[in-house]
Chain A
Amino acid sequence: MKADYVIVGAGPAAVSAAETLRATDSKGSILILSGEKHAPYSRMAIPYVLTGMIDNEGTHLRKNANHFEQHQITVQHDTVTNVESSSKTLALGGGGSVEYGKLLIATGASPVNPPINGLDLPGVHHCWTLEDSDAISKIAGEGSNIVLMGAGFIGCIVLEALASSGANLTVVEAEDRMVPRMMNETAGNMIKDWCQNKGINVLTSTRVSGLSKSDEKLLVTMDNGDSQIADLVVVATGVRANVQCVKSSGVEIDEGIKVDEFMQSNVSDIYAAGDCAQGLDFSTGGWSVHAIQPTATEHGRIAALNMAGKEAAYKGSLNMNILDTAGLISSSFGEWQGVERGEIAEVIDHDNFRYMQLAFNGDRLIGALTLGRTNNIGILRGLIQSRTALGVWKERLLKNPNRIAEAYIANTQ
């Protein structure tokens, strides 16, 4: 088999790329190789399958069943086991091979396990695929006992879904607060307090040291000496880029596949996008893996434009997240930690669980954290990514960080 454009993976990066390719090149043949048996779907919709809001089809990235066919995009369910760049050929798990003109690796990431015993026991699951959510749904429910390992971003998103099932939920996080890479100490601990008020048992600065079988259940041992009986253990302790299939292709790999601002790797005609790609970082000017949905779709689009011969340089991804932990909404953008010689503005309202922090470099906004705010929140992205010079508004924001919408409007209208 042969195609002008071959895309490995069927997540948001792949779908955004395939559609952009079709819009840019009406004739070239496009083949998506999907390692999973489902129609192209979105992992980040899985929590809503767990809560019962949607069924598996609700996670599909395109709801029209003929969408890909209509755009002459072939979706084939097979795993790529090896990429040979000299002959421009892919080896498939099902036995065949495919020749490519241009290749996009959009294989995403996979969960990684901490070095403890018992992770292979029944009742221990990641929350990464539709199979995982099926397995979790069978156990989670009113009165069940669940231990969630990891309160990072993905852990906290899963937490929301697990808590709403009516289970007794314990969250174990090695660091000193919740979402440590997304929130500072103040906000991370406000989220912890909120969750505890909602009846979720949150253990920070604690590690699960081992899992073992106890009758039909799991015994979860902690490094503080405590232990707990659980029906279900969900492991959310980080992810790693899926780069196995390109290991011998000559493609440079660091934390992910290294790509330039055109999303191309060091090997010609091989591009990468999404969770598996280490691309331009808007904030630092360096190269980072930003494993989030908006970055995946942007990467896919930019890669596709370049693959189809329409040169487009990426301006870099902005690390940003929005999270709903049992009703408390938090968001983080860019370099919220601040930079040397930069300034930080902060307002804390502990009683009402509201918080806002802005980080500036000169008179430009470079990062932000919010808690308890949903209105006009995208403006934070806009202000950061347009590098808007805030002028007099910087002083006003230092005094009252909540005035972001006015600052933006004053600068654009």
Chain B
Amino acid sequence: MQKSLHINPDNCTGCYQCVIACSDEHGDDFNPIKSRIQVFRFEDEGRYVPYTCTQCDEAWCQKACPTDAISADADGAKIVSEALCVGCKVCTIACPFGTINYNADSGKVNKCDLCGGNPACVKACPTDAITFIDANTTGFDRMRDWAAKTDAGSQTSA
């Protein structure tokens, strides 16, 4: 069964444990800007929102890639092959969520890969703001509706 990340911002206290765990897992130097999960802080409302790739079905990044560097694994996670990626950055403008980003140090792009089915951010989150559950019941719905509005074609998917 496909599982995906479920993010509940109401539970987020802004402790950034997910960001640290993500950088650690992927061997990126600890740098919140480079983590594949980000936490946005809305000062006025005292609100924090963890944010990362939804592994969407449309997979704009994968479709736009000129070198076949992005593929879907068994969990449905879209994975970037560092060997095939040439760092052209087209996927970073094709993805309407902005969740695939160029890393100037590696010259390649980074995105959430669900850690091969055991996401480090989920393990690190002390308040269950990020959980890993059955894909059909996740709360990425608003993001998905929004994605549908951005889709190039009709809702028919090939």
Contacts and interface: CB of A to CB of B under 8 A. Distances in A.
Interface of A: 12, 16, 20, 23-24, 42, 44-45, 48, 53-54, 58-63, 293-294, 297-298, 301-302, 304-305, 310-315, 317, 320-322, 324, 327, 329, 331, 333, 374-382, 385-388, 405-406, 408-413
Nearest to B66: A42
10 contacts: A42-B67, A44-B88, A60-B67, A63-B84, A294-B64, A376-B38, A377-B98, A380-B93, A387-B149, A405-B98
Contacts of A387: 149
B86 A381 contact: no
Contacts of B156: 305, 310-312
Contact of A379 (B7, B84, B98): B98
B99 A45 contact: no
B101 A312 contact: no
Given A44-B88, A294-B64, A405-B40, A375 B33 contact: yes
Contact of A58 (B86, B94, B151): B86
B89 A329 contact: yes
Given A293-B66, A294-B90, A377-B93, A20 B152 contact: no
Given A301-B63, A406-B40, A382 B92 contact: no
B129 to A, nearest CB: 12
B97 A378 contact: yes
Contact of B63 (A16, A312, A374, A380): A16
B19 to A, nearest CB: 13
Given A24-B158, A301-B152, A315-B153, A413 B93 contact: no
A156 B153 CA distance: 31
A378 B38 CA distance: 15
A28 to B, nearest CB: 14
Contacts of A327: 104
Contacts of A382: 95-98, 146, 150
B98 A48 contact: no
A12 B88 CA distance: 15
B73 to A, nearest CB: 16
Interface in B85-121: 86-90, 92-102, 104
Contacts of B96: 378-379, 381-382, 385-386
Interface of B: 7, 9, 33, 38, 40, 42, 49, 51, 60, 63-64, 66-68, 84, 86-90, 92-102, 104, 142-143, 146, 149-154, 156, 158
B26 to A, nearest CB: 16
Contact of B98 (A20, A60, A312, A408): A408
A379 B146 contact: no
A335 to B, nearest CB: 15
Contacts of A298: 63, 152-153
Contacts of B97: 378-379, 382
Contacts of A24: 158
B90 A378 contact: no
Most B Cβ at <10 Å: residue of A42, A54, A294, A310: A294
B94 A294 contact: yes
A320 B141 CA distance: 27
B50 to A, nearest CB: 9
B90 A60 contact: no
A410 B90 contact: no
Contacts of A48: 86-88
Contacts of B66: 12, 42, 44-45, 59, 61, 293
Given A45-B86, A54-B86, A312-B153, A374 B104 contact: yes
A323 to B, nearest CB: 8
B150 A374 contact: no
Most B Cβ at <10 Å: residue of A406, A408, A413: A413
A298 B92 CA distance: 16
Contacts of B87: 48, 324
A58 B89 contact: no
A376 B88 contact: no
Q: Which 4 A-B pairs have the closest CB atoms?
A: A382-B96, A376-B98, A379-B98, A42-B66
B153 A375 contact: no
Most A Cβ at <10 Å: residue of B51, B94, B99, B102: B94
Contact of B153 (A294, A302, A320, A333): A302
Given A293-B66, A386-B96, A409-B49, A302 B90 contact: no
Given A302-B152, A409-B51, A294 B84 contact: no
A331 to B, nearest CB: 6
A45 B49 CA distance: 36
A163 to B, nearest CB: 15
Contact of B94 (A45, A378, A386): A378
Contacts of A44: 66, 88, 90
